Amino acid sequence: MPRVLIAGGGLAGLSAAAALGGAGFSVELFEARPFLGGRATSYPIPAGEGDAPTIDNCQHILLRSCVNLLDFYTRLGVRDRIRFHREFHFLEPGGRASVLRRGRLPAPLHFTGAFLKMKCLGLGDKLGIARALLAIRRERTTRRDLDRISMSDWLLEKRQTPRAMDRFWRQVLVSAINEDLDRMAARHGFQVMWLGFLARADAYEMGLSGVPLAELYGTDAWRRLPGVHVHLRAPVESIDAEGFLVAGERQTGDYYISALPFERLAAAGLPAPVLDHSPITGVHLWFDREVTTLPHATLLDRTMQWMFNKDGGRYLQLVVSASRELTNLSRERIIEIALDDLRQYFPRVREAKLLRAHVVKEQRATFSAAPGTEALRPGTATDIANLFMAGDWTRSGWPATMEGAVRSGYIAAEAVARAAGQVGEFLLPDIA
């Protein structure tokens, strides 16, 4: 069978490897780091911090509408490690909770009952949101400017109240797209609301891995795909028509896939798109006692945006997306802000002792999904006939997410299969 070389062991490279390995190709995958998963991974926190627990570099969430990501997990035999949650808890400072869950009505009315009961929004906010959701349904196929205008432009056009902006749209979309509403192309906001909330009643259900992320791509998983060979600590130094240079040695194949982050392409000798980054900050806090029983919550009106309960309410992970305002703050200051925020929602934090804290600032978390960006995202084909591109930054049809990365991997794998004269069909269509 044809031999395919893949550079990069993030989700884009891994999904291409799984698809091609499953179709009988011989695949060699080269990853620079000693573990797989790229930005969606886990590792023990650095020495010098006690007994070094393993953490996800950041809590990663998926929705049921991430059909290609779920398909990839199925290929690796780890689909059952993903646990789905049906309730979203919106917490106000003071601790009052509003719960969003689906009721009995069919989509797109499935949230009606829960939405009407949400205490964090007033009637005027809700009527405005409902009007805007109906407009998304209508305009998503008819409007031609969604790539050019920002989501906040569109929401202001729909006369959303300040509270609806802050407590609904910003809260949901900034963490989904990792960009502020005024820097996010409306197209992406539409896609999240359509595929996550409107198209199907169960699409919004939030999947969290029950094991550290790196375990999803562990060696056991690859035993199912004997044609795939993974090389760790194997940085690809350059890529050209002659093949890969890996640790000074020339590696050749019939086909090549680069699944490197876009900021690494130039160093490998490949043309790179001009995209900006948007940061994410994760704060990991370990307490001496349980401070909450909620599995997760979205935190309104403060700096921290999401709380995930990682271990019996004693280990919490907090996430701030598009976290530019934290970029220049010290880790100590970020921990202070996090604790101060948590005391507002979870009174037990006031008595609890903080045993350990760890901050992960990912300055290059994702590309910024700004208006005009779609046209800058390249497709999978390159000037070299047997070299294909993958990565969440390529034109996958999705923003920079795990689903986007897997889609890009499947698209590149399909291109390789086609070039080899096969009908490789790996990409699954969106739910609607």
Ligand X SMILES: Cc1cc2nc3c(=O)[nH]c(=O)nc-3n(C[C@H](O)[C@H](O)[C@H](O)COP(=O)(O)OP(=O)(O)OC[C@H]3O[C@@H](n4cnc5c(N)ncnc54)[C@H](O)[C@@H]3O)c2cc1C
Cβ atoms of 166 and 300 closer than 8 Å: yes
- Least CB distance to ligand X at residue 84 (A): 14
Q: How far apart are CA 256 and CA 386, in angstroms?
A: 6
Which residues contact ligand X (rule: CB under 6 A)?
7-13, 30-33, 38-40, 57-58, 60-62, 235-236, 259-261, 264, 268, 280, 282, 362, 365-366, 391-392, 400-405
Alpha carbon distances (Å) from 89 to 107, 198, 204: 20, 19, 13
Q: Name residues whose C-beta falls within 8 Å of residue 254's C-beta, 6 or more positions apart in sequence.
A: 2, 3, 4, 386, 420
Nearer to ligand X, 14 or 300 (CB): 14
- Least CB distance to ligand X at residue 83 (A): 15
- Tokens found for residue 326: 């934290």
- Least CB distance to ligand X at residue 46 (A): 17
Matching residue, tokens 């700096």: 303
Nearer to ligand X, 251 or 344 (CB): 251
H helix or E strand, kind and range, residue 388: strand 387-389
Picking from 232, 162, 190, the residue whose alpha carbon sits closest to that of residue 398 is 190
- Least CB distance to ligand X at residue 423 (A): 25
Q: How far apart are CA 36 and CA 18, in angstroms?
A: 13
- Least CB distance to ligand X at residue 159 (A): 31
- Least CB distance to ligand X at residue 143 (A): 25
Nearer to ligand X, 115 or 426 (CB): 426
Cβ atoms of 239 and 258 closer than 8 Å: yes
Nearer to ligand X, 18 or 32 (CB): 32
Nearer to ligand X, 10 or 424 (CB): 10
The beta-carbon contacts of 164-169 under 8 Å, at least 24 apart in sequence, are 164/121, 164/125, 164/126, 164/128, 164/129, 166/300, 166/301, 167/90, 167/120, 167/121, 167/125, 167/300, 167/301, 168/121, 168/125, 168/129, 169/129
For 154, list phi and psi in degrees, rounded to 5.
-65, -40
- Least CB distance to ligand X at residue 183 (A): 17
Nearer to ligand X, 57 or 160 (CB): 57
- Least CB distance to ligand X at residue 212 (A): 14
Q: How far apart are CA 179 and CA 404, in angstroms?
A: 16
Nearer to ligand X, 100 or 270 (CB): 270
Nearer to ligand X, 40 or 415 (CB): 40
- Least CB distance to ligand X at residue 410 (A): 12
Nearer to ligand X, 203 or 236 (CB): 236
